[in-house]
Amino acid sequence: MPRPAKRGASGASTPPSSLSSSPPSKPLYPAISFRSSSPSSSANHKESSVTARSSLLNVLTRPHHSSNSIKTIPSINQDNSSDEDTVLSDQSTISSYASSIVSGTSSTFTSNEDIAEVYRNYLEKPFVSTKSTIKHSEFGHCNNPNWRWTSQWNPDEPIHPSEEPHPPYFTLLTTYISYILLIVIGHMRDFFGKRFKPADYAHLMPQNGYAALNSDFDSFYTRRLKQRLEDCFARPTTGVPGRTIVCYDRASTNENKTFNLTGTTTRALNVSSYNYLGFASSTGGCADAVEASLRKYGVSGAGPRHDASTLDLHLQTENLVAKFIGQESAMVVSMGFATNSTTIPAIVGKGCLVISDEFNHSSIRFGVRLSGASLRSFKHNDVDALEKLLREVISQGQPRTHRPWKKILVIVEGLYSMEGSLVNLPVLLELKKRYKFYLYVDEAHSIGALGPNGRGVCDYFGVDPREVDILMGTFTKSFGAAGGYIAGSKALIDRLRLRSHATCYAESVSPPILTQIIASMGSIMGVAPPLATPPTEDDRSDSLSITSTKSRPTVYGPAPTYILPSWMKLPLNLLNGTEGRERLRRLAFNSRYLSSGLRKLGFIVYGHRDSPIIPLLIYNPGKMPWFSQLMLDRLGPDRTPIVVVVVAYPATPLITSRVRFCLSASHTKNDIDLILRACDEVGDLLGLKYGTQTMNVEEVIASAEELVSAQF
């Protein structure tokens, strides 16, 4: 956590006194230098693993469970009963896992192999008994009711940090130097390469009277900088992108120009896919519904919506989406990118002004360019800058003519996919009243992922969704489907149906995709009349939840039965909304836990703590491929691979290269522990803890619930 002053104020976040007896934290790998940690050398692995294991065992603390609400997991309960036993207290939370598989044996882990053995089937076998038909590798089973949280705005917590965390100047300097070096070396290689190896540059030079397809200036970044990280991107995978993902192993012999598959695969913990609610699944109620739909409707929607490719299923989906969002009407489009790019031109045109956040998604910029409207942008999430800009554009009018703008449309995202930051919706709505602009909120990432009911930022902040003129979102992320939607007033949606490029010329959404949307969305909402009453709110975490001062709008009801297709049979846990509710609360806990934990470990982390997108700042471009590789070839004793996404310029500003974790409801708390341990390992090795570390990793893991409920 880079702001130690604030940390002191939050008393609850410090670890409880029982932890003070644990040995002080030490660097896990004191002996290993950066160079010797080369993932390709197996000899070093062994050495580092041994060091890591012994020090890990030294700092292990007992699992911290403050209440007796853990009765659902007998194995952990046993641990608690023998609390004072030093042997057992040396076991970490992994012991709860261990004791469940190695039932009855309470032996200590003395060797690396033992820990490795415990983790051998970690990704595939659940350690709690479950009746669910969903595979553990796709959706982790986690029954502990303490590891839940409600995603809801706490007015006492700032939406944005008062100041951005800054890295040390040394880091900034080395980052700039790295880029300068890369650019200089790249240009030198180009210079000599063109002269001595012209064949390699043929596609960049004019040939036979054809201009080069790819200008060598435009592709410089791709060839000379991105290619060095090429292995971190577009890893081929197979299977479901759920809690875990199976990657094909690959190697390159020509400096990442091409990759050869080695023929083996690796199953890794997946913190990269936008699978917020864990609906990416090949089994379970939603998949069964999709199968039924495939039998009934086939695969394709084929033609455009207006040309008799509007199915009853489309209308049912749209009604359900409108109900889910809390708007009058909604429209679905077969691709998320195209939802923005074909809708914005139907709303604004010449003489209109679009004010866009500087970090808005490419599809929004694409749409604005198609629309012919003028574009101004403001500093990311800076409402003061926005107000200043609004005063300027309203008072100045259109350029040169000074006529007033026909419409001003402010486009923001609910949750920014690279920053993890939330839009300041309450203030925006205040500004909207004063400056009479129209508001377009792109909820591509926030829908399903935020809010106590999973209805996005409006739900999170407790504002009426109808105060926002246009709500856009995608089904790719939280719902495990594809495509996007636009929701708004009926008049607006009717206009869009007429003017949107997508309804007239683009293919309609496929029936199986629509079914996935209906099934997943319906299970988040629950279906009324309820077949079983949802559980009453007596969970511990609820007592810690924020009680809002003003009453929240009650637009978010369950889905009426008549909206769902009559042929769709959903299992009871999906119909009564318990499953959806559970998923929302697990995601909220996971997000807050990892975000808080990484801050405590001394990493610079951007974004809001309730955001399931957690960017961890790396800065130095040279550390990016190492981070990605070290997370995959884990050095820690558990040896569980983790796949991460590293992002750099141009997706982020030049210096703030980062790794981005996308959490999911499918992750268990043990998975998050694993990520924290892995980050701690790699962070120490690569020197990524740019902030001040206030807790060691075992303290963080032991005080997960306190961290989540704390304000800081």
Partner 1 sequence: MSHVLPSPMATAAAPSSTEIPAPLIPLLSSLSSLIFTIEHLFNRIPGSPIIVRYIKSSYQDDPWRSLLEVLLLGFAIRTVLKGRTRGEGEGKNFIKLTEKEIDELVDDFNPVPLVDDPTPADSFTLDTVPTIYGPNGIKVKTSPNGKTLLNLTTPNWSGFIENEKMKDVAIDTLKKYGVGTCGPSGFYGTIDIHTKAEADIASFLGTEASIIYSQAFALVSSAIPAFAKRGDIIVADRGVNFGIHKGLQISRSNIKWYAHGDMKDLERVLQNVERERKRKGGKLTKKFIVAEGVFENDGMVLDLPKVIELKKKYKYRLILDECQSFGMMGAHGRGITEHFGVPASEVDMLLGSMANGVATGGGFCAGSQVVCSHQRINSSASVFSASLPAMLATCASAAIDMLKAQPTLMTSLQANILIFRQALAKLEPVMPDLTGTFSANTNTDSALMPPPPIPNKDAVISIPSHPNSGLIHIFLLNPPTTLEEEELLLQGVVDEVQNTSNILITRARRLRAQEVFEPEPSLKICISGAMSKKDVENAGKGLKAALIKICGSE
Q: Which of residues 408-427 bind partner 1 (CB under 8 A)?
A: 408
Tokens standing for 28?
């896990």
Q: Does 482 bind partner 1 (CB under 8 A)?
A: yes
Nearest partner of 144 among 121, 125, 128, judged by Cα: 128
| Cα–Cα distance measured from residue 277 to residue 665, given in angstroms and rounded to the nearest whole number | 5
Q: Does 307 bind partner 1 (CB under 8 A)?
A: yes
**Span 550-579, contacts to partner 1 by CB under 8 A:** none
**Considering only residues 10, 25, 44, 310, which one is a binding residue for partner 1 as defined by CB under 8 A?**
310
Q: Does 302 bind partner 1 (CB under 8 A)?
A: yes
**Span 460-479, contacts to partner 1 by CB under 8 A:** 469-470, 474-477, 479
For 662, counting Cβ atoms within 10 Å of its Cβ (0-12 exposed, 13-18 middle, 19+ buried), the class is: buried
Q: Does 358 bind partner 1 (CB under 8 A)?
A: yes
**Span 76-105, contacts to partner 1 by CB under 8 A:** none
| Cα–Cα distance measured from residue 157 to residue 346, given in angstroms and rounded to the nearest whole number | 38
> CA separation (Å) from 595 to 89, 155, 207, 610, 664?
26, 19, 52, 8, 13
Helix (H, G, I), strand (E, B) or coil at 448: coil
Q: Does 661 bind partner 1 (CB under 8 A)?
A: no
| Cα–Cα distance measured from residue 165 to residue 690, given in angstroms and rounded to the nearest whole number | 10
Nearer to partner 1 by C-beta: 65 or 243? Answer: 243
Q: Does 394 bind partner 1 (CB under 8 A)?
A: yes
Alpha-carbon torsion angle 423, 428, 429, 432, nearest 10? -140
Q: Are 525 and 577 in contact (CB under 8 A)?
A: yes
Q: Does 506 bind partner 1 (CB under 8 A)?
A: yes
**Considering only residues 222, 252, 262, 692, which one is a binding residue for partner 1 as defined by CB under 8 A?**
222
In the complex, the smallest distance separating the C-beta of residue 197 from partner 1, rounded to whole angstroms, is 17
Q: Does 583 bind partner 1 (CB under 8 A)?
A: no
Q: Does 224 bind partner 1 (CB under 8 A)?
A: no
Phi, psi of 647 (to 5 degrees): -130, 140
Q: Does 403 bind partner 1 (CB under 8 A)?
A: no
Query: CB under 8 A: which stretch of 57-65, 457-465, 511-519, 688-696 binds partner 1?
Result: 511-519
In the complex, the smallest distance separating the C-beta of residue 578 from partner 1, rounded to whole angstroms, is 22
| Cα–Cα distance measured from residue 474 to residue 441, given in angstroms and rounded to the nearest whole number | 12
Helix axes 669-686, 93-101, angle to 10 degrees: 130
Query: CB under 8 A: which stretch of 178-186, 399-407, 521-529, 540-548 binds partner 1?
Result: 399-407
In the complex, the smallest distance separating the C-beta of residue 406 from partner 1, rounded to whole angstroms, is 5
Q: Does 180 bind partner 1 (CB under 8 A)?
A: no
In the complex, the smallest distance separating the C-beta of residue 472 from partner 1, rounded to whole angstroms, is 14
**Considering only residues 73, 290, 321, 659, which one is a binding residue for partner 1 as defined by CB under 8 A?**
290
**Span 518-557, contacts to partner 1 by CB under 8 A:** none
Q: How many residues bind partner 1 (CB under 8 A)?
A: 133
Alpha-helix residue ranges (DSSP H) falling in 102-224: 112-118, 169-196, 220
Q: How many CA atoms lie within 13 A of 293 on its CB side?
A: 29
Nearer to partner 1 by C-beta: 127 or 606? Answer: 606
Strands 559-560 and 613-617: unpaired
**Considering only residues 31, 43, 199, 213, which one is a binding residue for partner 1 as defined by CB under 8 A?**
213
In the complex, the smallest distance separating the C-beta of residue 270 from partner 1, rounded to whole angstroms, is 7
Q: Does 489 bind partner 1 (CB under 8 A)?
A: yes
| Cα–Cα distance measured from residue 264 to residue 247, given in angstroms and rounded to the nearest whole number | 9
Q: Does 247 bind partner 1 (CB under 8 A)?
A: yes
**Span 147-176, contacts to partner 1 by CB under 8 A:** none
| Cα–Cα distance measured from residue 387 to residue 378, given in angstroms and rounded to the nearest whole number | 9
Which helix (H) or strand (E) segment holds residue 108: the answer is: none
**Considering only residues 79, 138, 419, 579, which one is a binding residue for partner 1 as defined by CB under 8 A?**
138
Query: CB under 8 A: which stretch of 17-25, 163-171, 384-392, 456-464 binds partner 1?
Result: 384-392
| Cα–Cα distance measured from residue 684 to residue 682, given in angstroms and rounded to the nearest whole number | 5
Query: CB under 8 A: which stretch of 64-72, 119-127, 376-384, 453-461 binds partner 1?
Result: 376-384
**Considering only residues 165, 239, 426, 553, which one is a binding residue for partner 1 as defined by CB under 8 A?**
239
Q: Does 656 bind partner 1 (CB under 8 A)?
A: no
Helix (H, G, I), strand (E, B) or coil at 317: helix
Contacts of 68 (CB under 8 A, 6+ apart): none
